[in-house]
Structure 1
Amino acid sequence: MGQNRQPVVLLAADYRQIDKQSFHVAGGKYVAAVAKAVPALPLIAPALGADSDIESLLACADGILLPGAVSNVHPSHFDQDVLNPALPLDPARDGLTLRLIGAAVEAGVPLLGICRGFQEINVAFGGSLHQAVHEQPGMADHREPDSPEQSEQYAQVHPVTTVPGGLLAEITGCSEFMVNSLHGQGIDRLGAGLVAEAHAPDGLIEAVRIAGAKSFALAVQWHPEWNVLNTPPYLAIFRAFGDACRARVAQREA
């Protein structure tokens, strides 16, 4: 393989039951964003839980994307009981991602987390989550509108303010920009070694970076994959991730 080969980006799969059958799946908009906005070759890493071969996954990865999902991180991973049993969980994905995150950072593999992926990174570094942000005093309701139309679910609804001098401010060139909001959970206690990069108007952390990471290591609570090619701050995030993935290709092929 030559130095000009396209980067390979692994997307962590969800383990889902569909029509009474089991599937390892990743949302189409994440796959499309990797293919078009990074750009890179997207490959889905199956959610095999404790059976996931982390070393082999890292060996074929030039970057890792932790996508959003309908499920939540199991609260046992941050020493809480399940608040609402009606909400979906995905222990198989937890078993993949919570092991993969630290190994990826240690190996210098570029890492981008989105929504659930953002929350996974916080939990992997010892942080905790609010299981229902909207029930916390002074916090807004960050859940999506009750609408069947995706254009309404993913509409930009509130600004985020970037931390001056931070990585996200540098990448986007913005001190503030509008984002969508489709999450019920959010960061409570920030994980050790994580640095806040942006906040919502109610003070909720909306972006973090992993301090001391050897490569790109950023996560956001909103969904920058949505309409990414037409939303400059969103595209800037994927392009910066892509630059890091291409740098890893060059390093590995040297």
Structure 2
Amino acid sequence: MHDANRNRPLVGVVCDRFFVGEHDLHSAKHSYVRALMAGSCVSPVLIPASQDIDSIEGYLDGVSGLLFPGGASNVEAKRYGGPVDAGMLVDPDRDHVALELMRGAAACGMPFLAICRGFQEMNVAFGGTLHADIHASGHSADHLEDIDEDLHTRYRYRHDVELIATGTLSSLAGGHRVRVNSLHRQGVAALAPSLTIEARASDGLIEAYRLSGHDFALGVQWHPEAMMESDALSRALFEAFGASCRRYAALRAAAHHES
């Protein structure tokens, strides 16, 4: 095995759970795996979504970072006290695992990156609420996905976001405005108290935030994994995440050595 690969920290990727025909599957899109390997220079491992998992400690002990990716489903309304929509696609197994892992990572200082559905999970995990349908709540149609478009067209840049001048993303971007490829129906209603806003869309919707007082715990509503090879901020974001995972792995190894 090449030394560079041997020394890469493990990063857990939370799976979705869904059926294809009669087959019950756990999966994550390859675009996230590829971005972690090429941009963050880490080794991804998939974490299944199951309500049968009653302890997340073993996963937290085994990885040096976590990625909470996008997904087709939405966070269940009961997780944040919202009205139940029987027609909404949900994944209670992923909710169970993702919210527990996110809180556990925050408690031990583990780096994590939350994208799209993961971004929404992040707000809920720390006590925030969501709009089940941002368009119905008065926000721009620019955020919504058109499933009739081909995949490349669907993930094009959709709208600008304004980056907060003192934020992590502004530092990585070297500026205060970037164009992003947001595709989502849920969105932030009430922001969790421990989250600090990193970016807003022109219609006021929060599009990125960080967990205050944490080395790297960042959520973005858009899809940097789809643009990493061509977009400077997307590349910088995954590189910064990887660097934080390596710092965490080194600190944990040193602590184990001392004990």
Range into which the TM-score falls when normalised by the shorter chain: over 0.9
After superposition, give the CA deviation of every residue in 1:140-179 in whole Å (9 maximum; x if it has no partner).
0211234331111100010111001111111221211100
Tell me which residue corresponds to 1:75: 77
1:46 is matched with 48
Which residue number in structure 2 is paired with residue 101 of structure 1? 102
- Tell me how far apart the structure 1 counterparts of residues 147 and 106 of structure 2 sit (CA, whole Å): 37
Please, what is the CA RMSD of the aligned residues? 1.5
**In structure 2, what is the equivalent of residue 250 of structure 1?**
250
Partners of 2:96 and 2:21 in 1: how far apart?
A: 24
Normalising by structure 1, what TM-score?
Answer: 0.94
Question: 1:60: how far off?
Answer: 0.9
Aligned length: 250
- Structure 1 contact 207–218 (Cα < 8 Å) conserved: yes
1: CA distance between counterparts of 2:121 and 2:50?
A: 16
Matched residue, 1:168: 169
> Cα 1:180–1:186, aligned 2, differ >3 Å: closer, same or farther?
same
TM-score of the superposition, structure 2-length normalised?
0.93
Unaligned runs of 5+ in 2: 255-259
Determine if contact 1:50/1:95 at 8 Å carries over to the other structure. Answer: no
SS in 2 for 1:222: coil
Structure 1 residues without counterparts, runs of 5 or longer: none
Q: How far has the Cα of 1:50 moved from its partner?
A: 5.0
Counterpart mapping for 1:205-244 below 5 A: 205-213=206-214, 215-244=215-244
Between the aligned partners of 2:80 and 2:113, the Cα distance in structure 1 is: 21
Contact 1:125 1:192 in 2 (8 A): yes
Q: 1:61 maps to which residue?
A: 63
Q: Deviations over 1:58-84 (max 9, x none)?
A: 01111100000000000001112223x
Q: Does 1:112 align with 2:113?
A: yes
2:123 maps to what in 1?
122
Match of 1:9 among 4, 8, 11: 11
Give the Cα separation in 1 of the matches to 2:54 and 2:27. Answer: 15
User: 2:89 — aligned with what?
Assistant: 88
Give the superposition deviation at 1:192.
1.6
Contact 1:38 1:242 in 2 (8 A): yes
Contact 2:82 2:130 in 1 (8 A): no
Once the two structures are superposed, what CA deviation does each residue of 1:27-78 show, in whole Å capped at 9, x if it has no partner?
Answer: 1111111111111101000112252431000011111000000000000011
Identity of aligned residues (%): 38
What SS does the aligned partner of 1:177 have?
A: strand
Answering whether residue 145 of structure 2 is matched by residue 144 of structure 1, we say yes
Tell me the amino acid that sits aligned with residue 27 of structure 1: K
The whole-number CA distance in structure 2 between the counterparts of 1:54 and 1:172 is 34
Question: Any idea what SS the aligned residue of 2:19 has?
Answer: strand
Distance in 2, Cα, partners of 1:53 & 1:26: 21
Change (3 A) 1:52 1:64: farther
After superposing the two structures, state which structure 1 stretch, 232-241 or 42-51, moved more.
Answer: 42-51
SS at match of 1:230: coil
Is the 1:50–1:96 Cα contact (8 Å) retained in structure 2?
Answer: no
Q: What secondary structure does 1:247 align onto? A: helix
Q: Secondary structure at the match of 2:229?
A: helix
Contact 1:134/1:140 (8 A) holds in 2: yes
Contact 2:158 2:179 in 1 (8 A): yes
